[in-house]
Amino acid sequence: MPSIDELDLFLLGRQEIYAANWLRISGTPPNKLFHYTNAAGLLGIMNHKVMWGTDIRYLNDHTELKHGIELIEGQLDEAIKQQSQMEVVELLTSLRNSFHLYGWKTPQGDVDFHSCFVSCFCKEGDLLSQWRGYGSSGGGYAVGIRPCQHINVMDTSPTIKLKKVIYAESEQLQLVRDSINCVVECANFALPNISNWKGACEKISTLFRDEISDYLWCFKNPAFSEEQEWRFMYLTNPFDPNSLKTLFRPNLSGIIPYVELDIFKQQKNEPYFDICEIICGPRLDPEGSVKAVKQLLNSSKYAGIAVNKSGVPLRW
């Protein structure tokens, strides 16, 4: 009879397939990404060499996590209806009931709290919607970066990862269904062959939650697809001894938790990214703002970086 170790090998092969699927859909980072911010944000980036990673539950789109949870729960409901094996139905049902906005529910009903902090970037550096939403209504700046091409979006070793946001519902459904089918396949492999069914369920559930967590952090409603967003993400939990300190800042909607992401640090002898351009928002003085940013760059040892004015036709 196959042992639980053979299930581990089965799951390891699944991880490789999952990584290939994710890389196929997300692809490699573009040559340039832009972070929209206000004057205080630009000064903070240049002076302290960190980016703020905001708790994903406090982003502007309050329905973001809800969108992913509802999509995944709906697909699990469909999968449960199609199963006749009671043990598989119970496993899928336990996964269906484990979602919580602040982590994962345990079988005892407690919540295993997890946090995801993100710093958001856009593929385009001069979008009206981004100026209005994140660039001080056009009075801010778009900080252009060139991501390190050696960043592996599926690498499990870096604390900070770069991931592409998935908007197309067809791609979201494809990824979720693939993960659910994997649960069913693993369960059908383990059920007749492995005596420790409970231990097998725990391993299968862990794999599923690891995959689904990526979806929760990276799925957005298709209505936001113009953003073409990529995210530097930092995941942690209360039991992480090396967890970054959570800080807090005021906002019109209340208090916002965040962390300082050291994405200027070296990774494999290269920084996570290099600053390569700054675009001044359309409501700023087109001449004065460019001159001021160039002075700032010179004082921050970033002389030579391109500084441009926005081409969006808004009054300043």
Residues sharing a CB contact under 8 Å with residue 124, sequence separation 6 or more, in sequence order: 34, 130, 228
Residue 316 falls within a domain, yes or no? no
Residue 274 falls within a domain, yes or no? yes
Residue 314 falls within a domain, yes or no? no
What is the per-residue pLDDT for 107?
A: 60
Residues sharing a CB contact under 8 Å with residue 266, sequence separation 6 or more, in sequence order: none
What is the per-residue pLDDT for 18?
A: 81
Residue 296 falls within a domain, yes or no? yes
Residue 73 falls within a domain, yes or no? yes
Q: How many domains does the chain have?
A: 1
Q: Is 209 left (phi over 0), alpha (psi -120 to 50) or beta?
A: alpha
Pairing of strands 229-236, 111-113: unpaired
Range of the domain at 255: 4-309
Residue 266 falls within a domain, yes or no? yes
What is the per-residue pLDDT for 33?
A: 95
pLDDT tens, residue order, the chain (316 aa): 456 777 888 888 888 888 787 777 777 889 999 999 999 999 999 988 889 999 988 887 767 888 888 999 999 999 999 999 999 999 999 999 887 655 666 665 555 557 889 999 999 999 999 998 888 888 999 999 988 755 544 444 447 888 899 999 999 999 999 999 999 999 998 888 778 888 899 999 988 988 888 888 899 989 889 989 999 989 887 777 788 899 999 988 899 999 998 877 655 555 667 899 999 999 999 999 999 999 999 998 888 899 999 999 876 4
Residue 237 falls within a domain, yes or no? yes
